[in-house]
Structure 1
Amino acid sequence: MEDTGVKLRFNVPVSGQKLCTSYPSAREKERFMEAAYDRWVFTLYVDDMPVRGIVGPPVEQNAVEVKDLSRVKIYTRFSFTMEYNKNRVVGVSLEMKAPTAVDGPSLDLTYDVKWEKSEKDFVSRYENVMESELFTSRAHWIAVINSMAIVVVMVAIAARIVRNLLDADIQKYSTVLMDDDLDVELADIAAAESGWKQIREDVFRAPPCPSVLCSLIGFGNHLILLVLSFVVATLVGNLYVTPGHLAKAFCLCSISTSFYAGYYATGTLYRMTGNVSTRSHIMSSVLSIGGMPILGAVFFLPTNLLSSIAGSNLTIAWSTIFKLMRVWTFYCLPPGLLGSRVAKNLHEHAKPHPCREVPRPIRVRFLTSPVFIASVSAVMPFSCIVMEIFFILKSFWALKMYYIFDTLLIIFLLLMAVTASSSIVGSYVLLSAEDYRWQWSSWGSGAFTGFYCLVYSMFFYVYNTNISGVVPTVFYFTFSLFFSSLLAVLCGALAYLASSIFVKKLYANFKSE
């Protein structure tokens, strides 16, 4: 963003105030022509409220083809209308006036400010800037109903399949054990012992890189609590009325939930492996707490450096970056480390489930491989949120305000239900194939949702945006990678949590039978 230089004083009207005089070069005049022909729109923020104006009146195509600048005009007068109630600004509008041909040597830019008294409440001042054509109630409720239908179908299918298969397996196994006929064929016993029952001594074996997995799970649980608390706080407190309150609420929610991130990551690591080195303990704690700033640094620091070198207005101020680092270091990190320490004290002597000394060999098959099962399991969760992703991308890249947090909360709860159901079904299929590598597979069944989101963002870039230039394109894909990574970690933690509960219940019921 750039400061336009427009000076506004409360309830002080202005008429014909000179803003600046521009002496455009030949190249800049051609860019004015392109902007007017393509109907470019710019956005200004007045008292944190966005107002939009158009660059110039319509331009005929033949004028562009022959580059006749005398027929190309841009607006040079900004006419602001400010609405106020007592001592608060409750509305703002912008009208562009004075179309001027760009073929002259200079352009004089001026502005007017008119103040009008209004009965509108300060709380409702954003109603005019919430554009109904982008977020129509009908379109959004259709998306919600579609997601709810997917949830009902997916949960019903998952419950039916798992219940029927489990009942059949347990009944079959119990019948073989209770059969008093000494002539029972070994084939029947082998059939009863096939599938997930065969790997009961390997199913709780620690996965490869347990500290990394636990860090991702802790980070994901942090994101789950952060999203839920932030959306609920926004709805309850109407925080979108003042954009600055959204940033403050996000920071407070992040600080208040960082304790759980460190606690869950360290506790899961101790329960999973039992013997944890100091290095693994520290790494899992820091990664689970600092996942978001680490991802932000990896993705945005190089992009921001490129933007600053190119002189783009997309550059994030380095002072803002240092402020965010300071908030994380002094406010988010200490509660997370405290949670990690509490988990260490509580679970330091935890003993993992006993496993056989020699791991059972795994028969590798493509259709039951962890990667294939994870990729298929993520299709339903992604289809549940694809419409909401469209609205979010449209809001973000069209510079429009996103305010439908109620439907966002509903969609997020539906995403949790579908991700859990898909993960349980995928884990059961994997265990039935006598493959005990369910930990990473269950996490991947949720993480693939983020991958599909990244693919969709590429599709959105091609068909729904007019972004051009190196820096804007790099920024688009940087943001897409960042948010897709966050979604992958969040859904991965959801999927692992659901599968972990299911696997423990499954083998606990099997032992009781």
Structure 2
Amino acid sequence: MAKVESGAVVVVVLVLILMACGLRVEGDGSDHRYKEGDHVPLYANKVGPFHNPSETYRYYDLPFCSPEHVTEKKEALGEVLNGDRLVDAPYELNFREEKTSRSICKKTLSKDEVAKLRDAVLKDYYFQMYYDDLPLWGFLGKVDRDKLDQSEAKYLLFKHIHFEILYNDNRVIEINVQTDPNLSVDITEDKEVDVEFSYSVAWRKTEIPFEKRMDKYSKSSSMPQHLEIHWFSIINSCVTVLLLTGFLATILMRVLKNDFIKYSHDEETLEDQEETGWKYIHGDVFRFPNHKSLFSAIIGSGSQLLALTIFIFLLALVGVFYPYNRGALFTALVVIYALTSGIAGYTATSFYLQLEGTNWVKNLLLTGCLFCGPLFLTFCFLNTVAIVYSATAALPFGTILVILLIWALVTSPLLVLGGIAGKNSNTEFQAPCRTTKYPREIPELPWYRTTIPQMAMAGFLPFSAIYIELYYIFASVWGHKIYTIYSILFIVFIILIIVTAFITVALTYFQLAVEDHEWWWRSVLCGGSTGIFIFFYCIYYYRARSDMSGFMQTSFFFGYMTCVCYGFFLMLGTVGFRASLLFVRHIYRSIKCE
């Protein structure tokens, strides 16, 4: 068993090293060095409403000037999952070649095309391009409203774009896009419009080194006021941890010590006294839970997701996910999830057999489908929505086939191998007390000691430790802000794990103290309840902190965030159960049980 685990760790580490070396995106295989007049790759990526980050479309879906033969750039798996669809842009920005004003094309827009562009301007459509792997954005137009009568508005389409490019020696350092409202065309009325699209280019020398050209994209998240808020979040979390730690230390050191003295005294002098307290359910506390297969599958899937999260953080901390490294995060998620499926198989099967389960094959299938199943169904629905909208979020058949092959050739075999290793581990459940034949009756408990109130208490503290950081994560994933302070996020994640473990242990103790021995499922539900709080925060963020709208964006936001919250529930539920199991074993080893 040890050899299997160590071998798996070595394989994962090697793959992570390879990914760390290979996930960076290079522009057409070049070294980003150019001579004057050389062609520099410029790709148009996508267009879409500024407030709906998931609702993006191909660049030439709008009636822009397009070449006769549109050349698409071959993209990696992560880029396709990210919704990138790169094609050759209609501009020529050769290295250090200035242009005052060059026409792209003269075009007569039909009524339908004018209506389409007017709707795009109304929804604040933006375009995104990549020049030598540097991202650039611009808006298609603006709505000019009358100051006296807000109901009257002019819809202006920008017809000229000015590119300002900074260079250092033979390398491109920075690119900015400017649009001039004076160089625009009125598309307010439904009528044909003649428009000439044009652009200009200016080059400026800079002393910024090539190695630091991406720094400007991460400055927004590391500005002093933002760092102050981030550190306030950490201090808030640390104070929560310290208070909770002190609270639990009081319980474990004083209350348990008094319990041990009391029970030791009872054994010597008061043998006939009526039994009360957590000691006297020692014959039931290690009674295996109902639905063993589902319970084991949750522990297996939660362990895999915890390992996945830790590996993603390791890649982030070594600098793999720098700003606009297109698709690196999605590639890492797919690959690492596939490679860690052996952890789920081994953990679920070995624990299922410890619980005296018999059908380990069925348990292994349940483990493999527990998280992937809901995620796959959600993806099928959302991909159908994206196809109906003709959005870039709709995955091509080839990409879907690649993902299915990864699942069939990597995820499933590793899951089965992990299950076989777990079956052959022959480990027995370590219980310091013997379990009686018949369970004790649980006394009637007040309402606040039932499952749902306990889950509410268990989820509130961990959520309060992370909610400040959640806003920045949501603004990055579901907006256009950039998050790069992964070290702070990793600290917050560690704090989340610690707080979840501590609060679940505390509630488990209180549950056992009132002679309720059904703590197994309760510890999972209490530990994972933070995922439910995160889901409620999703609702709050959507309604109060964002301007997202429309069926597609709403379905993408709640569809994928529900899967994320479900993943948090599995992961933190596993953490809560593992911490409670260690605690319960410890306290029952410390007393003499008949």
- TM-score normalised to structure 2 length: 0.76
Instruction: Give the letter for the 1:296 counterpart.
Output: L
| Cα distance in structure 2, aligned partners of 1:305 and 1:163 | 57
Mapped contact 2:129–2:136 kept (Cα < 8 A): yes
The structural deviation recorded for 1:30 is 5.0
Distance 1:498 1:355 in 2: 21
| Cα gap change, 1:316 to 1:392, in 2 (>3 Å) | farther
Secondary structure at the counterpart of residue 570 of structure 2: helix
Equivalent residue of 2:342, what SS? Answer: helix
Aligned: 1:56 with 2:141: yes
CA drift of 1:411 comes to: 0.5
Check whether the contact 2:300–2:344 (CA below 8 A) recurs between aligned residues.
yes
Asked if the contact 2:221/2:482 (under 8 Å) is kept, the reply is no
- Counterpart of 2:400 (choices 321, 325, 329) is 321
- In angstroms, what is the RMSD of aligned CA positions? 2.9
Instruction: Give the C-alpha shift of residue 20 in structure 1.
Output: 7.4
2:128 matched to 1:44? yes
Quote the Cα distance in structure 1 between the aligned partners of 2:520 and 2:544. Answer: 37
Partner of 2:310: 228
Amino acid of the residue matched to residue 194 of structure 1?
T
Partner of residue 415, structure 1? 496
Please state if 1:258 is matched with 2:350. Answer: no
Q: 1:451-470 residue pairs with structure 2 within 5 A?
A: 451-470=532-551
- Secondary structure (helix, strand or coil) at the match of 1:204 reads coil
Asked if the contact 2:283/2:434 (under 8 Å) is kept, the reply is yes
2:59 and 2:127 in contact (8 A); partners too: no
Note if 1:3 corresponds to 2:25. no
Q: In the TM superposition, what is the alpha-carbon distance from 1:111 to its structure 2 partner?
A: 3.5
Q: Could you say which residue in structure 1 is the equivalent of 2:163? A: 80
Q: CA deviation at 1:102?
A: 1.9
* 1:360 counterpart = 2:440: yes
Tell me, in whole angstroms, the C-alpha distance in 2 between the residues paired with 1:325 and 1:304: 15
Q: Which residue of structure 2 aligns with residue 152 of structure 1? A: 242
In structure 2, do the counterparts of structure 1 residues 428 and 134 end up closer, same or farther at CA, with 3 Å as the change threshold? Answer: same
User: Number of matched residues?
Assistant: 495
Q: For residues 159-192 of structure 1, give each alpha carbon's deviation from its aligned partner in whole angstroms, at most 9, with x where no partner exists.
A: 212332211111111112222xxxx594xx22xx
Q: Distance in 1 between matches of 2:430 and 2:508?
A: 24
Q: Deviations over 1:10-29 (max 9, x none)?
A: 62746524167443546446
How big is the shift at 1:459?
Answer: 0.6
Q: CA deviation at 1:284?
A: 4.5
Change in 2 beyond 3 A, CA 1:64/1:506? farther
Distance 1:298 1:29, change over 3 A: closer
Structure 2 runs not aligned, ≥5 long: 1-45, 47-57, 61-87
Moved more, 433-442 or 111-120: 111-120
Instruction: Say if 2:293 and 2:357, in contact at 8 Å, map to a contact too.
Output: no
Secondary structure, in 3 states, of the residue corresponding to 1:367?
helix
The Cα shift of 1:236 comes to 1.6
1:403-459 alpha-carbon deviations (Å, 9 max, x no partner): 221111010000011000011011111111211111111111122111111111101
- For the pair 1:140 / 2:140, whether they are aligned, the reply is no
Is 486-495 or 23-32 further displaced after alignment?
Answer: 23-32
The equivalent of 2:185 in structure 1 is 100
The alignment partner of 1:359 has SS state of: coil
Distance 1:499 1:335 in 2: 29
Contact residue 76 and residue 110 of structure 1 kept, 8 A? yes
Q: In the superposition, relative to structure 1, how do residues 20 and 382 fare at CA in structure 2: closer, same or farther (>3 Å)?
A: farther
For the 8 Å contact 2:524–2:574, the answer to whether it is kept is: yes
Measure the CA separation in 2 of the matches of 1:202 and 1:163: 24
Give CA-to-partner distance per residue, 1:346-386, whole Å, 9 cap, x none: 12666877422222222342222233212211110011111
Match of 2:284 among 183, 202, 207: 202
TM (norm. structure 1) is 0.87
Aligned to 2:374: 295
Which string of whole-angstrom CA distances, capped at 9 and with x for unpartnered residues, describes residues 26-79 of structure 1? Answer: 6446535634xxxx362514155432323435622458745453xx42322233
Paired letter, 1:214: S
Change (3 A) 1:508 1:263: same
Give, in whole Å, the separation in 1 of the partners of 2:238 and 2:317.
21
- CA deviations over 1:186-232 (Å, ceiling 9, x no partner): 4xx22xx3121121111111112111111111111111111112112
**Structure 1 unpaired stretches of 5+:** none
Is the contact between residue 353 and residue 360 of structure 2 (CA under 8 Å) also seen in structure 1? no
Corresponding residue for residue 255 of structure 2? 165
Counterpart CA distance in 2 for 1:68 and 1:342 is 69
Paired residue type of 2:215: E
Aligned mates of 2:522, 2:568 — CA distance in 1:
17
Deviates more, 1:408-417 or 1:466-475: 466-475
Change (3 A) 1:129 1:105: farther
**What residue identity is the alignment partner of 1:177?**
E
Task: Give the one of 416, 420, 432 matched to 1:337.
Answer: 416
Structure-2 separation of matches of 1:498 and 1:397: 33
- Give SS of 2:259's match: helix
1:503 matched to 2:584? The reply is yes
Distance 1:49 1:432, change over 3 A: farther
Confirm or deny: 8 A CA contact 2:143 2:153 kept in the other structure. Answer: no
CA contact (8 A) 1:162 1:428 kept: no
Shift of 1:311: 2.7
DSSP-derived class of the 1:130 partner: helix
Single out whichever of 243-252 and 428-437 deviates more from structure 2. 243-252
**Contact (CA 8 Å) 1:16, 1:111: kept in 2 or not?**
yes
- CA drift of 1:122 comes to 4.2
CA contact (8 A) 1:19 1:111 kept: no
Task: Give, as a single letter, the amino acid of the residue that structure 2 aligns with 1:282.
Answer: L
- Amino acid paired to 1:129: Y
Q: Deviations over 1:460-503 (max 9, x none)?
A: 11111111211111111112212111111111111111111111
Query: 2:122 matched to 1:34?
Result: yes
* Distance of aligned partners of 1:117 and 1:153 in 2 relative to their CA distance in 1, 3 Å threshold: same
Secondary structure of the residue aligned to 2:290 is: coil
The one-letter code of the counterpart of 2:577 is Y
Counterpart position of 1:269: 352
Secondary structure of residue in 2 paired with 1:511: coil
Please give the per-residue CA displacement for 1:83-119, whole angstroms capped at 9, x wherever unaligned.
4557764432211232322246324433445555555
Give the conservation status (yes or no) of the 8 Å contact 2:221–2:484: no
What is the distance in 2 between the residues matched to 1:76 and 1:206?
71
